[in-house]
Amino acid sequence: MKEVEHKFLVRSDEYRALARKSTRITQGFLNTHPERTVRVRIKGREGFLTVKGLSNESGTSRFEWEKEISENEAAALLNLCEPGVIDKTRYEVLHEGHCYEVDEFHGENEGLIIAEIELEEEGQVFSKPSWLGKEVTGITRYYNSMLSNHPFKKWSEKEQDDG
Amino acid sequence: MKEVEHKFLVRSDEYRALARKSTRITQGFLNTHPERTVRVRIKGREGFLTVKGLSNESGTSRFEWEKEISENEAAALLNLCEPGVIDKTRYEVLHEGHCYEVDEFHGENEGLIIAEIELEEEGQVFSKPSWLGKEVTGITRYYNSMLSNHPFKKWSEKEQDDG
């Protein structure tokens, strides 16, 4: 029920050739309040409802609860979500025993690419592939719940370059 | 996925003697926005996550989606909810083929008692028992999501008497 993860920008598209899988993801939010986000997701043909709590100070750890639901249920719930549905393609890339999930955003967030690694516990050692860029863990504008209301294309040049 | 219901105040406590079942309910909200409320409920020893959409104009009909979850999962999610957890005892009372659910509220909503009947479709005929009071369907302050933020004990005399 607790998720530990690190987020990075990416330097190059090498991850594509290394991916073992890519899946289209559509998701919206029933709530984007940072203390209790409620996410509806269709991933491939599967549906999920996910509740996340507040992050710790460094942004690496967060309460997370997820339930699988049917694609139809998820589609019905997506209709109820706040405006700003997110559309992205997720590449799964194995690197020295860990799986990086690389999200290429579409639509209003086109141009943004984020890699995430999920760990079993705080402080666990992991290796960074050469295509990985700057770490952006804990920077709230990269949260999907924020991208929904304030998409990448509307960021200032400074915000875009800071990545 | 659509709920049709009518809500009433009650005149007397006769419903208690007629009830076939009573269950304690504790519930909170991950979101109280009227367009997309997200409710976490522990009912007896069962857990539920329920999403409701906007009501129609008369307040009788509303999108509803519900998923059963474990009591432990519900307890963990209740910790994340907005302040103002609701505590009530629900009596189930059969009356001429329909089940009335009568909620006696505790804590900050003590003194409030609401009876609800759920129908299969709009306009379906149903019979009203003698202990039923004024209809309050569609009056938003009686919504549980509103009671959570603005409990009965804090209502003005006029608001309390209007029932």
Phi, psi of B90 (to 5 degrees): -105, 125
User: Which chain B residues touch A33 with a CB distance below 8 Å?
Assistant: 31
Domains delineated in chain A: 2-161 (2.40.320.10)
Q: What is the pLDDT of residue B160?
A: 86
Q: What is the pLDDT of residue B128?
A: 96
Instruction: Provide ipTM, 2 decimals.
Output: 0.79
User: Which chain A residues touch B63 with a CB distance below 8 Å?
Assistant: 76, 80
Q: Dihedral, CA atoms, B89, B110, B28, B148, nearest 10 degrees?
A: 150
Question: To which residue do tokens 């999610």 refer?
Answer: B77
User: Which chain A residues touch B51 with a CB distance below 8 Å?
Assistant: 30, 77, 80
pTM score, whole prediction: 0.85
- Residues A52, B67: Cα–Cα separation, whole Å: 17
Q: Does an H or E element contain B147, and which?
A: helix B144-149
pLDDT tens per residue, range A94-143 = 999 999 999 999 999 999 999 999 999 888 999 999 999 999 999 999 99
Nearest beta carbon to residue A67 from set B38, B63, B67: B67
A147 three-class SS: helix
> What average pLDDT does this structure show over A38-47?
97
Concatenating the DSSP letter of every residue in A26-56 gives EEEEEE--TTSEEEEEEETTEEEEEEEEEE-
Residues of chain A in Cβ contact (below 8 Å) with chain B: 1, 30-31, 33, 35-36, 38, 49, 51, 53, 63, 65, 67, 69, 73, 76-77, 80-82
Q: Between chains, do A51 and B80 touch, taking CB under 8 Å as contact?
A: yes
Q: How many beta-carbon pairs below 8 A join chains A and B? A: 49
- Per-residue confidence at B130, pLDDT binned at 50, 70, 90? very high
Q: Between chains, do A77 and B67 touch, taking CB under 8 Å as contact?
A: no
Amino acid at residue number B96:
E
